[in-house]
Amino acid sequence: MEKIVIEGGRKLRGEVNISGSKNSALPILAAAILSSDESIIENVPQLRDIITMLKILKELGARAHQEGHTVIIKPGNNLSPVAPYKLVSTMRASVCLLGPLVGRLKKAEVSMPGGCIIGARPIDLHLKGLEALGVHIVIEHGYVKAKVKKLHGAEIYLGGPFGSSVLATANVMMAAVLAEGVTRIESAASEPELVDLANFLNSMGAKVRGAGSHLIEIEGVQKLHGTRYKVIPDRIEAGTFMVASVLTRGNVRLRNMIPEHNNALMDKLREAGAELETNGSACRVMYRNGLKPVDVTTLPYPGFPTDLQAQMMSLMTVTPGISVITEKIYPDRFMHISELNRMGSRIHLEGSSAIVAGVKKLSGAPVMASDLRASAALVLAGLVAEGRADIHRVYHLDRGYEHIEDKLEALGAKIWREKE
């Protein structure tokens, strides 16, 4: 077990390269099994979750390995439909194997998903969508067991109590590309990662239209082929470094990103008083003479991302005035509050809203990460805290950030890893 240690108080300056998107790469890796041919997927980040997905693909019988930031997958013709508990239970995103397994093999047994704990995240929309395509599903002994004789197109509504579901949309899309007829998904998620998945599927020979809108149309085809594809940059990693630049009163230029994917965050940072300059695939984020509190409400894309809520809260802890951060996607996603308060912040929770009273400074302290994005928030807080911050359980960070301490150190942070 490792921890990250930070001695705060240093401004971040310089340039940072944004890695490929984890939330794009995982369903794309799963989608590669829709063909027996080899696919080459580029710009794949080196992360714990990627390693887990490759292990699952190998368990299914595919040949899969990563060379640098390129993954080569050869599914072959002898895939198993069973995704086992020992691997699936460690990563929620592995539920996205349901769609491609059903699409390719017409059957699947996928363990109920695991991952970090940020409140209840049921898979009912996944099952609803697949059942509409003709799939018979039962849940037995902790496994989702699905089978179908022939997939058929359908009209499917995927709206849920907290908006549309990204992974449910992905699962239905991946199954529907090999269904007979046309499938229309209404209230589909519109995140950039789904556009990336649709583009990948189309490069395999699928016919997906409307990705990025709330109505996706899929015309089924008989067979897909292998492809070569490059994953988009990670907008959540980019957003984390944007916040880090402002929080440390710094000046950081982000390279290899897609600025428009972070429009909601950029709007809030400008409202808080930061200065941002975009130029193609680069964005410079600068602190300018004081910050103002802002209110933030998380919403499905293109709204403010729930995956940047915790990081934005770290910024508001040292911004003078009162900020209100409301979580509309996962109302229980506030476990970082108690740890931020250990570092001297003044945050209290009222229902699904966190009331943040800015303080002059944070103090370094030993803190415990509860999930991936909470880990990032604690790292950001440590960058500006007085003294030493020890952040435990950093294996969460390794699920979603590629060498974050190396990137921060290159920008001027005093940060390193130690064995527990």
State the catalytic residues: 116
How far apart, in whole angstroms, are the C-alpha atoms of residue 317 and residue 222? 54
Q: How far is CA 412 from the centre of its chain?
A: 26
- What residue type is 396 in one-letter code? H
3-state SS of the chain is: CEEEEEECCCCCEEEEECCECHHHHHHHHHHHHHCCCCEEEECCCCCHHHHHHHHHHHHHCCEEEEECCEEEEECCCCCCCEECHHHHCCCHHHHHHHHHHHHHHCEEEEECCCCCCCCCCCCHHHHHHHHHCCCEEEEECCEEEEECCCCECCEEECEEECEECHHHHHHHHHHHCCCECEEEEECCCCCHHHHHHHHHHHHCCCEEECECECEEEEECCCCCCCCEEECCECHHHHHHHHHHHHHCCCEEEEECCCHHHHHHHHHHHHHHCCEEEEECCEEEEECCCCCCCCCEEECCCCCECHHHHHHHHHHHHCCCCEEEEECCCCCCCCCHHHHHHHCCCEEEEECCEEEEECCCCCECCEEECCCHHHHHHHHHHHHHCECEEEEECCHHHHHHCCCHHHHHHHCCCEEEEEEC
How far apart, in whole angstroms, are the C-alpha atoms of residue 186 and residue 233? 27
Residues constituting the chain: 420
